[in-house]
């Protein structure tokens, strides 16, 4: 069953999440900065243990909501300053329209099988002009394709998108931006939700 891995392998993902540094959070904050002031509202979709969310809340002085479908992962996200947690499915988010100034999803989208619904939900919960930062592994890299095979053997969707597929998916819901390479194996999609004035 998709997502089960995050219940039984939580300690491994906790270990993995310790890779996040203040510099990573600063780099993300800089991409969100045009629309994110102090006290701004950020949604971290599939934010898991909340370790990146806690760093981002600290460096950007913003409030970060971690949405995740795994209770086991979210248990590690509770209690950090500036971070709140919500258990739920990214394809059917329990938030009001235009509730957030920015949305991030890091190493998470390829774990979600209903990606079109997730993109539509991100567009719905973002305010017009809001910022998006999505980091994903690139299936052009052999190591990523091997990891995709392993994930699928474990019942995960393994839905790694190429940069072009990412741009097309989000463009279809009015989220428009650019792809930045992040080393040889990944990329970030940095974008904004179009406002009426952009159309």
Q: Provide the binding-site residues for ligand SAM, judged by CB under 6 A.
A: 3, 6, 13, 17, 46-49, 51-52, 67-70, 73, 89-91, 106-108, 111-112
We find the least distance from the C-beta atom of residue 179 to ligand SAM, in angstroms, to be 18
Residue 88 or 129: which CB sits closer to ligand SAM?
88
Q: Which DSSP state fits 18?
A: T
Min dist CB 49 to ligand SAM, Å, is: 6
Structural contact between residues 88 and 67, judged by C-beta atoms closer than 8 angstroms: yes
Dihedral-angle region of residue 116 (phi above 0 means left; psi in -120 to 50 means alpha; beta otherwise): alpha
Query: Smallest distance, Å, CB 107 to ligand SAM?
Result: 4
Q: Which is nearer to ligand SAM, 23 or 198 (CB)?
A: 23
Of 78 and 195, nearer to ligand SAM (C-beta) is 78
- Closest C-alpha to 71, from 7, 131, 123, 11: 7
Residue 47 or 174: the one with the smaller Cβ distance to ligand SAM is 47
Residue 166 in contact with residue 189, Cβ under 8 Å? yes
C-beta of 40: minimal distance to ligand SAM in Å?
19
Query: CA 68, CA 47: separation in Å to the nearest integer?
Result: 6
Cα Dmax for the chain: 47
């Amino acid at each position: 069953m998709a997502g089960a891995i995050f219940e039984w392998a939580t300690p491994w993902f906790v270990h993995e999440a310790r890779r996040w540094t203040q510099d990573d959070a600063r780099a993300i904050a800089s991409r969100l900065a045009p629309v994110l002031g102090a006290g701004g509202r950020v949604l971290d979709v599939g934010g898991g243990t909340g370790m990146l969310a806690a760093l981002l809340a600290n460096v950007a002085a913003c409030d970060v909501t971690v949405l995740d479908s795994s209770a086991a992962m979210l248990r590690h996200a509770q209690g950090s300053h500036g971070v709140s947690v919500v258990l739920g499915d990214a394809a059917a988010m329990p938030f009001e329209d235009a509730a957030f100034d920015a949305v991030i999803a890091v190493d998470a989208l390829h774990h979600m099988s209903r990606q079109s619904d997730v993109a539509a939900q991100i567009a719905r919960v973002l305010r017009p002009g809001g910022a998006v930062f999505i980091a994903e592994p690139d299936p052009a890299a052999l190591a990523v394709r091997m990891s995709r095979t392993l994930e699928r053997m474990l019942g995960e969707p393994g839905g790694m998108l190429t940069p072009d597929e990412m741009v097309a998916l989000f463009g279809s819901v009015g989220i428009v931006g650019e792809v930045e390479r992040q080393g040889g194996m990944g990329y970030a999609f940095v974008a904004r939700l179009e406002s009426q004035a952009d159309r």
